[in-house]
Structure 1
Amino acid sequence: MLRSLLLNSTLSLVVLFSSLTSHGYPIKGHIFIYAGCSQEKYQPSSPFEGNLNSLLASAVSSSSQVSYNSFAIGNGTSTPPDATVYGLHQCRGDLKIFDCSKCVESAVSQIGLVCPYSYGASLQLEGCYIRYEHVDFLGKLDTGLRHSKCSKSVSNDVEFFRRRDDVVADLQGAIGFRVSSSGLVQGFAQCLGDLSPTDCSSCVADAVGKLKSVCGSAAAADVFLAQCYARYWASGYYDSSSDSSNEDQVGKTVAIIVGVLAGVAVFIVLLSVCRKAMG
């Protein structure tokens, strides 16, 4: 019963996150973008949970030194095969190490709430990304669409589309992190650090293709694939002044929901104890 209530509450958290970040495209901060959770669940206090906790702790520690790192915990040891966990963290290429560390720390604190007891999960914030699986996914090209967001249309603006096409064409040369601009249009793209240069170019090319096919004539668009993303926007479209208020609102909402979850958990535990005492 407790797990069911917590799962329903965390699903509501994802929906609420999405609604709070659906308007505008904040360029800074730890704003929630998307999360993915496996349907397969592990048991609390299992060997997998112990290895996962070690991996997440390693990600937080590592992010204070490098913007990307990958991990494999439990492979090649006496640990049961189903307890092995693989994972990585990566920050946006223009983030300073201090900001990277804070972002990864925030992602790690949220991923267990958004994806409770999941054998695999990914969480993308504005400035960083974290993912873990119980199978080895590292270095294996995956261009599946994970998230897209499109602004309002700017139809019949020939100059804008010419500039946009210049930007997204330039982004296809990304190896790692790449920023591009043309006139009033700006953009950037990034691959995960476990991809080879060839796979990175292939992934970004797919992301750019989806920017056009999914978002069409949008003034700003984001496309996140499993191992890369590409974004463009018209200059001035990202409102940095609204970013902080939006981020504050998300933070307050998370605090409220986490408090509710804690209250529900305590209530159910006390109710269970009382029933056992009376029974």
Structure 2
Amino acid sequence: MLRSLQLHSTHRIILTLILSSLLFPFSSILSIHGYPTRANIFIYAGCSQEKYQPNSPFETNLNSFLSSVISSSSQTIYNSFVIGNDSSAASEGSIFGLYQCRGDLQPIDCSKCVARLVNQIGLVCPYTLGAYLQLDGCYIRYEHSDDFLGKVDTSIRYKKCSNTASSDTEFFRRRDDVFAYLESANGFRVSSSGLVQGFAQCFGDLTVSDCTSCIADAVGKLKSLCGPAAAADVFLGQCYARYWASGYYDESGPSHDDQVGKSVAIIVGVFAGLAILVILLSICKKSMG
């Protein structure tokens, strides 16, 4: 059972944070009809309560999975993996996992986003038998069993509705036009009508009919949960949909998940600064000794 993220301060995390901050700096990407997105922005995460032991077969296979994800992301925006699974029964270290980038990302940007995922998932979910992490431009998930692969999950993982609302009849007509086109999506689809734009995507392990059904559910939740909002996002278990009116999206108010993302960034900065200070003091001590 996956739960919301918890943060742990250990020497392993501190060292990884330093390397992550040095090797994979935040970057901004302009895409989809001028819609500004920062592919590395944190959206949501979930961690299983069950843990694995260091140096166990599961850890070995997890490292292999993460390496395979990084290698594959430079070639394709989606892939799934099965590692360490016997044909007769699931072994102690078996891992089932997948990753996916947003459909408009170029391979180099997908690869950078996935590298950020790989560096962060062990920080937000240390030593867990299952975890998922969604950044704005990419997603990763792994489990000890394959119960989640290919099965529709329309539970809400994240939603955000802008503070700005519209009462313009033309806006609603244009928004509904965007929704109608997105609802028939298979994979990734972009839509625009007048000043209203949007896109939707489902994970590559879904069938065509399940993908269409999932996105239709996401669009329905956008209507019911965000009403007249000028912009909104909803991320379900295996798909998401988003729309915005030009000039309104950046006025969206903060949500609980935004605060979590900001907290992660602040903690990363604090720990990285402290770790660098410790290293510098250690170097000075050695040189003086």
TM-score range, shorter chain: 0.7 to 0.9
Q: Read off the aligned partner of 2:71 and give its amino acid letter.
A: S
Which residue of structure 2 aligns with residue 41 of structure 1?
A: 51
Measure the CA separation in 2 of the matches of 1:252 and 1:121.
Answer: 19
- State the SS of the aligned residue for 2:181: helix
What is the deviation of 1:4?
Answer: 8.6
Q: Which runs of 5+ in 2 are unaligned?
A: 1-5, 18-34, 251-261, 280-289
Residue 6 (structure 1) aligned to one of 4, 9, 23:
9
Q: 1:141 to 1:155 in 2, by over 3 A?
A: same
Superposition CA RMSD, Å = 2.9
Work out whether 1:189 is the aligned partner of 2:192: no
- Residue 30 of structure 2: aligned partner: none
CA distance in 2: counterparts of 1:73 and 1:194, whole angstroms: 17
Residue matched to 1:271: none
| Offset from partner CA, 1:30-62 (integer Å, 9 cap, x none) | 111111111222122211111111101100000
After superposing on structure 2, the runs of 4+ consecutive aligned residues of structure 1 that deviate more than 4 Å are 77-80, 249-252, 260-263
Q: Distance in 2 between matches of 1:252 and 1:144?
A: 26
Matches within 5 A, 1:151-190: 151-190=162-201
Measure how far apart 1:236 and its partner are: 2.5
1:91 aligned onto 2:101: yes
- Contact persistence 1:26–1:238 (CA under 8 A): no
In the comparison of the two structures, how many residue pairs are matched?
Answer: 240
Q: Is the 8 A contact 2:77 2:110 kept in 1?
A: yes
Aligned to 1:16: none
Give the distance between the partners of 2:173 and 2:81, measured in 1 at CA: 42
Structure 2 CA distance for partners of 1:116 and 1:183, relative to 1, 3 Å: same
Q: Please tell me whether the aligned partners of residues 27 and 238 of structure 1 are also in contact (alpha carbons under 8 angstroms).
A: no
Match of 2:228 among 217, 221, 224: 217
Cα gap change, 1:174/1:122 in structure 2, threshold over 3 Å: closer, same or farther? Answer: same
Question: Which residue does the alignment assign to 1:130?
Answer: 140
Query: Residues of 2 paired with 1:121 and 1:105: CA distance?
Result: 16
2:29 corresponding residue in structure 1 = none
Question: By how many angstroms is 1:237 displaced?
Answer: 2.9
**In structure 1, distance between residues paired with 2:80 and 2:270:** 31
Residue among 102, 117, 135 paired with 1:107: 117
For residue 150 of structure 1, the aligned residue among 146, 157, 161 is 161
Q: Which moved more, 1:154-163 or 1:198-207?
A: 154-163
Identical positions, percent: 66
5+ long unaligned stretches in structure 1: 14-24, 240-248, 267-279
Any conservation in 1 of the 2:66–2:118 contact (CA below 8 Å)? yes
Residues 257 and 117 from structure 1, CA distance in 2 versus in 1: closer, same or farther, beyond 3 angstroms? farther
Partners of 1:6 and 1:261 within 8 A in 2: no
Q: Distance in 2 between matches of 1:4 and 1:130?
A: 18
Confirm or deny: 8 A CA contact 1:177 1:191 kept in the other structure: yes
Q: Are residue 81 (structure 1) and residue 91 (structure 2) matched? A: yes
Could you tell me whether the CA contact under 8 Å between 2:7 and 2:124 is conserved in 1? no
Question: Residues 176 and 192 of structure 1 are in contact (CA less than 8 Å); yes or no, is this contact kept in structure 2?
Answer: yes
**Given that residues 150 and 215 in structure 1 are in contact (C-alpha distance below 8 angstroms), is that contact kept between their aligned partners in structure 2?**
yes
